[in-house]
A = this chain, B = another copy of it.
């Protein structure tokens, strides 16, 4: 149908990206071909460059082009404050808020019996050894408020139970701008039970 198997192959690969299906992948590839020098060439180059240089930070699992990521190497960040997140996307979300000045630990997923995700595949042992051996004063469990996320938080809490480290988790309640009318029962129940003096 298209201009040769090369184009079809590119469409198939583009369609594997999240947010793109076969139709939008076709549209994206036609745009790329129309903007060959301005978009396709730099994009192919940037992709090859990232593929060759980006790796996991040896401490926290964030993506970086060095051995250690910008956050772990930053002397202005409190390295004794560790925020445990599920993914790099969650780390970026925390960073966008600008509210956290410690460092991170990226689990790389959450425990899931259905998907066969075990504690070992989640780098939990590495987190435990960092807490035991390092100078960590507080571990903040910033895992998603899903069943799997909370199961993982409880598992990590168990693993760190013997240590003197302070364990905290993000507060749960009504999100900023949230309207009670549109919130689920669980959130309202949690917010009511955790109510505080006004």
Known contacts A2-B63, A44-B44, A96-B1; A50 and B17 CB within 8 A of each other: no
Q: Does A81 contact B (CB under 8 A)?
A: no
Interface residue ranges of A129-167 to B (CB < 8 Å): none
Interface residue ranges of A3-41 to B (CB < 8 Å): 3-4, 6-7, 9-10, 13-14, 16-20, 24, 26-33, 36, 39-41
Between A and B, 6 residue pairs with Cβ closer than 8 Å are A1-B96, A2-B92, A3-B63, A19-B19, A29-B50, A40-B50
Minimum distance in angstroms from A13 CB to a CB of chain B = 5
Q: Does A194 contact B (CB under 8 A)?
A: no
Q: Does A197 contact B (CB under 8 A)?
A: no
Q: Does A65 contact B (CB under 8 A)?
A: yes
Residues of B within 8 A of A16 (CB): 39
Q: Which of B27, B32, B47 contacts A44 (CB 8 A)?
A: B47
Q: Which of B4, B31, B96 contacts A17 (CB 8 A)?
A: B31
Residues of B within 8 A of A33 (CB): 50, 54, 63, 88
Minimum distance in angstroms from A156 CB to a CB of chain B = 22
Q: Does A78 contact B (CB under 8 A)?
A: no
Q: Which interface residue of A42, A46, A47 has the most chain B CB atoms within 10 A?
A: A47
Minimum distance in angstroms from A21 CB to a CB of chain B = 9
Smallest Cβ-Cβ distance to A13: which chain B residue: B43
Nearest 3 CB-CB pairings of A with B: A3-B63, A44-B47, A19-B24
Minimum distance in angstroms from A24 CB to a CB of chain B = 4
Q: Does A115 contact B (CB under 8 A)?
A: no
Residues of B within 8 A of A36 (CB): 51, 54
Q: Does A122 contact B (CB under 8 A)?
A: no
Q: Does A79 contact B (CB under 8 A)?
A: no
Minimum distance in angstroms from A75 CB to a CB of chain B = 18
Minimum distance in angstroms from A29 CB to a CB of chain B = 8
Q: Does A170 contact B (CB under 8 A)?
A: no
